[in-house]
Amino acid sequence: MTEHRAVAVVRWPGQTPASVDAVAALLAAYHLRTEAEKGGPVADVARLPERYRAEITDPATAFAGDVVLVALLGDAAVGCVVVTSPANGQPEIKRLWTDPESRGRGVASALLDAALGHAAENGADTVRLSVWEWTGAIALYERLGFTVTDPWDERDQLVCMQRAAHVAPDPR
């Protein structure tokens, strides 16, 4: 689907050697880190909220109506992102995660480019996402053309962003 340097991004399941265990491990790392950043660290997956455990234990079912993209370096799954089915005409980007050892290699950018490409190919005009205000991801999203918008989710410290699905990102 998309390639950045040595990073290949493919749709899961289907076009990837990434197993369900590899995708589950990426989602587990994402949720454990997010809970810790929100101030409620949990020791293991069993202590995560049920909705997150369901994504980890059976990602194919949890994201059945959505598209899961997996970043590969060689045959190793090093990142993932979910593009939801459009709600009110807008798909949402969720669960963007890059394995910490693979950061700085273009994995997140490749995943976002592929997610935006998927949305545009499927007729979306706008793509949205939400991100916790303390993460460093906001700068990445802004560099790729996302702007802060009126919130659709009122959780404290959550920033809602959107951009046109078809606009080329700022090359800075």
Q: Is 132 left (phi over 0), alpha (psi -120 to 50) or beta?
A: beta
Average pLDDT over residues 25-32: 94
The separation between the first and the last C-alpha atoms of the chain, rounded to the nearest angstrom, is 24
Average pLDDT over residues 57-68: 93
- pLDDT bucket at 157, cuts 50 / 70 / 90: confident
On whether the 2-124 domain is CATH 3.30.365.10, my answer is no
Q: Is 117 left (phi over 0), alpha (psi -120 to 50) or beta?
A: alpha
Average pLDDT over residues 17-42: 87
Domain boundaries, the chain: 2-124
pLDDT score recorded for residue 3: 47
